[in-house]
Amino acid sequence: MGIAYGMRMINCNRLGTHGSRLLTFLGLTILSVAAQQSNLQVDPTRTSVNFTLGDVLHTVRGTFQLKRGALQLDTSAGKLTGEIVVDAKSGASGSGMRDRKMHREVLESEKYPEISFHPDRLEGPVATAGKSSVKVHGVVGIHGVEREITVPAEVEMSADHWTATVHFTVPFEKWGMKNPSTLFLRVNDSVEIDLTAAGSVVPPGTHASTQ
């Protein structure tokens, strides 16, 4: 009886050890998955959208304001989802007359008040800490037209904040917009967009707020 009891105790100890190891493994697995998934809050005060348009005399520069944004990053699956939405009506270049024509005749911002970007995947790994150079694929919506684009992006991550810079070109006619050459003398047939976004990294399971 003593031997049988002892064997049962040994088996129980082994089960306890295996169970402890299993729980530890599961816990580490959960932590690892959580570390690879992040909700990225977009901070309007740290996000800028700049546009550049060249003409025969000088370069026109202007800005747009962020309307709302929230992103979800899954580094293990190479996915970046969510949205960044810009207020088309906020576009300003420093000239009231030029801006009124831009909104009325090119952007038609009363009819199309938002410019949106919905990413869906990444090309290249994003480090959980430090800088990474990747490509972002997604859909841009401008002037009622949506088109797929893949653009280079510089991303910097830390435990509690992130930043990303993206540059892409928008040909006016490709998005159904009037070429502004008739408005601003002779200008390029496309506009350069530079987006710098930044914000906080919020814990997994917590949805990033859309501003």
pLDDT tens digits, 175-211:
888 887 755 456 778 899 999 999 999 866 555 555 5
**According to the model, what pLDDT value does residue 202 have?**
84
Asked if 64 and 86 count as a contact pair (C-beta separation under 8 A), the reply is yes
Rounded to two decimals, the pTM is 0.76
Residue that wins the pLDDT comparison between 191 and 7: 191
Report CA-CA distances (Å) from 105 to 60, 81, 92, 95, 102: 17, 32, 14, 15, 6
The tokens of 177 are what? 């917009």
3 pLDDT tier (thresholds 50, 70, 90): low
d(CA 133, CA 78): 13
The tokens of 166 are what? 């993206």
148 pLDDT tier (thresholds 50, 70, 90): very high
7 has a pLDDT exceeding 80: no
- Amino acid letter, residue 140: V
Domains belonging to the chain, first-starting first, are 37-202 (2.40.128.110)
What is the mean predicted confidence (pLDDT) over 42-53?
94
Count CB atoms within 10 A of the CB of residue 71: 21
Asked if 172 and 190 count as a contact pair (C-beta separation under 8 A), the reply is yes
> Of the candidates 174, 118, 120, 169, which has an alpha carbon nearest to the alpha carbon of residue 145?
174
> Of the candidates 128, 131, 151, 130, which has an alpha carbon nearest to the alpha carbon of residue 140?
151
Q: Summarize pLDDT for 65-76 with one digit per residue, the tens.
A: 999 999 999 988
Q: DSSP secondary structure string, 126-147?
A: --SSEEEEEEEEEEEEETTEEE
d(CA 40, CA 23): 29
**According to the model, what pLDDT value does residue 208 have?**
53
User: Which residues fall within 8 angstroms of residue 79, CB to CB, at 6 or more apart?
Assistant: 72, 73, 120, 121, 122
Q: In sequence order, what are the beta bridge partners of 118?
A: 139
d(CA 31, CA 102): 50
34 has a pLDDT exceeding 50: no
**According to the model, what pLDDT value does residue 175 have?**
84
